[in-house]
A and B are shown apart, each in its own frame.
Chain A
Amino acid sequence: MPEITLRDALKRAIKEALESDPSVFMMGEDIGEYGGAYAVTDGLLKKFGPDRIKDTPISEQAFVGAGIGAAVAGLRPIVEFMSISFSLVAFDQIVNMAANLRYMSGGQISVPMVIRAPTGAGVQLGATHSQSFETWLAEVPGMKVVCPSNPYDALGLMRSAIKDNNPVFVAEPALLYGEKGEIPDDDYEIEIGKADVTREGSDITLVSYGYGMRPTNEAADKLTERGVSVEVIDLRSLSPFDIDSIVSSVQKTNRVVLIDNARRNGGVMAEVAADLQQCASEWLDGPVMRVGSVDVPWPYSRSLEQEVLMDADDVLVAVAEGYGL
């Protein structure tokens, strides 16, 4: 199987959709002539022209809102934010419009739209550019939120997101755009709302998603070296999330550590933890453990940022504290 980067996986899904469905088009800042801040859309303007690859003014609220309007009228826009941190200025449109319209209209309206944005910290962009608001959006009913951790999932999830008849927010871990992985040639899709058991084991379950999968896998490797049998679950979808897969795993391992790469407070794993507490406590040999980044604004300095970011050692500490492994 050929290897491609996560960036190219996303681009492939977008390109396929532009080729096969004339109602699909893209909007965003510097996605055309500049080639995209993270080069996901590089070359698309040349191939599909300015009607389908629309460079926008720096007007997030207006172009996301216009995307919603176009979707309501039957088009299938893919709207890019240069960074998930900039989605804040358009949150009103995303939440009050995209997510609420269907319900408020009693089902008359649907908003088949993809909103995508790079997310996460780690390259010293400081407080305003390093945030992970997929965790906020995951709370909003009326829309879906996914976050791939590898090229295979990125392609499969993006294909599904574009075909979905609801607003789907695709949070793309910025640090993983260059990550390579094998991709089959077929047109597989990944169902939104289904987690992936990426490693089977019987002693402990580690759950994460997005960039968090990297330290999670590192920790799993170290535990495996110590003779611990680790099961790893990639949540893939934050909303809806797949509690059933996690419960099944916990029934087998009786131990669980939930890992957010984003700030710990209010992370998606807080909801997972609450659900586990309610429906799997009799299976658990210890507390539901959580790991996340420190609850402070993102600092610029490299040493400080690394201190705030959660890492594999934090996972190992949680495993030891919770379960003595």
Chain B
Amino acid sequence: MTGKVDRLDLFRQMYLVRQFEIACGENYSKGLIRGFLHLYTGQEATGVGAISTLGDNDYVVSHYRDHGHALARGVDVNRLMAELFGRATGTSKGKGGSMHIFDVAKGFMGGHAIVAGQLPLAAGLALAQQYNKTDGLTICFFGDGATNQGIYHETMNLAAVWKLPILFFLENNMYGMGTSIERVRAGGIDFYPGMATYEIPAAEVDGMDVLAVREATELAVARIRNGEGPQFIEAKTFRFVGHSLADGQKYRGQEEVKEWERRDPINVYPTRLLEMGIAKSDQIDQIKTEVDEVVAKAVEFAEQSPEPELSEIHNDVLA
């Protein structure tokens, strides 16, 4: 594809997401982050690759596993961490938490924790983009589990009928919480063929390969900007960790996890960059050192940030 890409920066972003999530896990164990915490570990290549193709006028919509999407969209790492710590400096002043991240200035429109609830919202954003004749589009991330909600199918049909500028981005990580998709879906583990029902062009991509994801997304984005209506991408990916920090993963064997971990983009991708002569190992090392520092600083920022004022409970209820 033609778009210019800083391939090293894609690594920096993926590594940032990975380290951010590791820091989240640590601070969850310390009780500094609470509630439900869903990590994006293993899926970095999908969010980073896809979001790297977007422009400033585009919207990004995510679900509760949203830290990776937020970071890839450029949400400030300090404010994101502060939100998870429930502090006044957080993206939602501590009111949203991990599952409800919003940064409207960045076009990051949530962080939605009712499975599939974000789909019509994304369609509505796209409707406004179409209505206002902007060149913007909306990308909506969701999981395999979300496809079993009625609202998913309703939204697909609506978007197709109205030719909305929306990219439906399925991150098929093979499980919805403790339920493997094979046990709860008629039609096997491939979703993209089914999109023919809605006449939505659909592609499958290796979600562990950030360049492949980027390429597939660029193609879909170009079609949407060309007025061709909704597009659908299914990335096959995997979360290396439990559904949330409360998940003991009794439902799956460690061999399966190990198998996927061999394709870990955080290891595979930089090796590929080295082999291709695009990066030198000291550049990789330097990125790692810098990102480690950024994440450590974010934790420090969050820890030192003030708790919200108690009177804050009454603000933001109505506009």
Contacts and interface: CB of A to CB of B under 8 A. Distances in A.
A294 interface: yes
A293 to B, nearest CB: 10
Contact of A296 (B34, B115, B117, B313): B313
B313 A59 contact: no
B250 interface: yes
A59 B317 contact: no
Nearest to B97: A300
B148 A304 contact: no
B179 A89 contact: no
Contact of B146 (A58, A86, A123): A58
Contact of B310 (A29, A129, A303): A303
Contacts of A35: 178, 250
Interface string B214-247: 0000000000000000000000000000000000
Which residue, of A57, A61, A62, A294, has the highest number of chain B Cβ atoms within 10 A? Answer: A57
A128 to B, nearest CB: 4
Interface in A303-325: 303-304, 307-308
Interface string B139-164: 00000011011110000000000000
B31 to A, nearest CB: 10
Nearest to A307: B310
A300 to B, nearest CB: 3
A204 B251 CA distance: 52
A3 B113 CA distance: 36
Contacts of B313: 294, 296, 299, 304, 307-308
Interface residues of B, number: 42
Contact of A58 (B92, B94, B149, B314): B149
B35 A123 contact: yes
Nearest to B184: A57
A304 B178 contact: no
B150 to A, nearest CB: 6
A125 B33 CA distance: 11
A178 interface: no
A262 to B, nearest CB: 16
A299 to B, nearest CB: 4
B95 A34 contact: no
Nearest to B246: A37
Contacts of B96: 126-127, 300
Contact of A304 (B98, B183, B185, B308): B308
B95 A89 contact: no
A304 B92 CA distance: 13
Given A58-B176, A61-B150, A127 B100 contact: yes
A61 B92 CA distance: 31
B47 interface: no
B95 A299 contact: yes
B250 A33 contact: yes
A29 B179 contact: yes
A120 to B, nearest CB: 14
Contact of A34 (B35, B83, B177, B312): B177
Interface string A84-96: 0110110000000
A56 interface: yes
A33 B94 contact: no
A35 B145 CA distance: 18
A55 interface: yes
Interface string A18-31: 00000000000110
A301 B36 contact: no
B87 interface: yes
Contacts of B34: 123-124, 302
A271 to B, nearest CB: 24
B99 A55 contact: no
A297 B143 CA distance: 26
Contact of A85 (B114, B145, B185): B114
Contacts of A30: 177-179
B94 A300 contact: yes
Nearest to A303: B307
Interface string A77-103: 000000001101100000000000000
A297 B96 CA distance: 10
Contacts of B310: 303-304, 307
Contacts of A299: 94-95, 308, 312-313
Contacts of B97: 124-126, 300-301
A88 B116 CA distance: 13
B8 to A, nearest CB: 35
A88 B307 CA distance: 32
Given A124-B86, A128-B113, A301-B308, A59 B150 contact: yes
A59 B34 CA distance: 27
B86 A89 contact: no
Given A57-B145, A129-B35, A294-B313, 20 more contacts: A34-B251, A55-B183, A89-B117, A123-B34, A124-B97, A128-B114, A128-B117, A129-B113, A297-B317, A299-B94, A299-B308, A299-B313, A300-B96, A300-B98, A301-B307, A302-B34, A303-B307, A304-B308, A304-B313, A307-B313
Interface of A: 29-30, 33-35, 37, 55-62, 85-86, 88-89, 123-129, 294, 296-297, 299-304, 307-308
18 contacts: A29-B179, A58-B116, A58-B149, A59-B149, A88-B114, A124-B35, A124-B97, A126-B96, A128-B112, A128-B117, A129-B35, A296-B314, A297-B317, A299-B312, A299-B313, A300-B95, A300-B100, A301-B97
